[in-house]
Chains A and B, each alone.
Chain A
């Protein structure tokens, strides 16, 4: 799977179903809900949003749990720092963690599940990433400016931050993040402004 537009078209409904900005609407999202994802054999996967009292410098974590054949993914928002945060900040945080979720999915689609699981677990021991609240503030500040943000100036928004290394030929994760963050309409608006400006 390496076509960015196809990936976004297929998995945007999953992201939308998470209702990231609406805490009252947070429900577990099962990939089995989506007819068009049937081809990927991901029926054992789900993702949901939960909250925890993380320390101040951590905005969110993606936790992946495998038990009894179920692969349950948790976007864990920091109860403390995200309480009272702007909806856009919550969306940025959630989409960031969703891209980590996509990396997990790519890995298990590219390899046998057992091989992917073992390599994911090895990574847990050796390397994981952190979305710091301070970095989120910087990111939000950049996204709020009218000038196109230079996403690559932030470590947390580099392709290597998300890339597992064994997920096969998949698109640049920064492009994936940008496409999940913004709708086609917003992209077209930006491109139209560039054309006429």
Chain B
């Protein structure tokens, strides 16, 4: 089995910060990568955005109130 490329996997996943990697072992970094991948697999970024936009719409309604 080919050795996993940590930097590539972090980059492909869009990980921009890991507070722990400095002294983390490769095993722990890959455990984080796998856990994030597993969470990502539960939904899509589009579904996340749809949810956020719905929250924003509800918030705007609360903040501004109903139009007269």
Q: Which residues of A contact B (CB under 8 A)?
A: 30, 32-33, 35, 38, 43-44, 46, 48, 50-55, 58, 60-70, 72, 74, 76, 97, 100, 104, 117, 120-121, 123-124, 127-132
Contact = CB atoms under 8 A, between A and B. Distances in A.
Interface residues on B, range: 35 or more
Interface in B37-53: 38-40, 45-46, 48-49, 51-52
Contacts of B16: 64-66, 117, 120-121, 124
A53 B29 CA distance: 10
Q: Is the interface of B mostly helix, strand, loop or mixed?
A: helix
A30 B52 CA distance: 7
B56 A64 contact: no
A44 B39 contact: no
B2 interface: no
A49 to B, nearest CB: 10
B39 A50 contact: yes
Given A32-B56, A117-B16, A127-B22, A76 B49 contact: no
A74 B62 contact: no
B20 interface: yes
B18 A124 contact: yes
